[in-house]
Amino acid sequence: MQDKARILRWDRLGMIVTESINFNNEPLLAEFFRCYSKVPPEMHGTDQSVSDPMTEEAIAAGKALELADNIPLFKLEVPCNNGVPHYFITGSPRPIFYTPPGRATRGFQAYDISGATLVFLKDTWRIDLPSIPAEGSTYNDWPEHAVERQSGRPVAQQCMRASQAHYHTIPLRLHTPPLAT
């Protein structure tokens, strides 16, 4: 066993395992790591839509989110249909795991940079079909129907299309355990 290895790949559906590779006799594993070391971070799977906020953004977001100064903050870029991305800042996401109804959508508090307000940011996006109205459209109809206890205005509801399925991967430098999937 000391001269064999396997490559494991995890995703949301499970794990893929390669056949056993005898790395002393087969150059395939060394060649894989040589090629892997030369590709840019986005080809490694690094989420390019997550970055560090600018200092002034971090100060405003930290204050709005009421976070201690030592909590790391992350700037999330969400592409929108109009071509202009929407930006949010969040600390360590801490969703509430209550999901009997619905599609098990999780979310967390975030700071909307453009609106300078706190918002509820979902970690997944809606199903984009003509027969299913967008959530934002439904929320916009609430005032005319006198719906009580509204959580606020929808933000970036027209962001993302079906062809842009997306989720954010927060780097592992968080102070809390990663989200369960």
pLDDT one-digit tens code per residue, 23-73: 888 888 888 889 999 999 888 888 888 899 999 999 999 999 999 989 999
Q: Which residue has the higher pLDDT, 177 or 140?
A: 140
- The kind and range of the H/E element at 172 are none
Tell me the torsion sign for CA atoms 133, 149, 142, 78: negative
Q: At a CB cut-off of 8 Å and minimum separation 6, what does 58 contact? A: 52, 73, 89
Confidence of residue 74 (pLDDT cuts 50, 70, 90): very high
Q: At a CB cut-off of 8 Å and minimum separation 6, what does 14 contact? A: none
Q: Which residue has the higher pLDDT, 99 or 124?
A: 124
Confidence of residue 104 (pLDDT cuts 50, 70, 90): low
Do the beta carbons of residue 61 and residue 89 sit within 8 Å?
yes
Q: Which two tokens stand for residue 70?
A: 């030592």
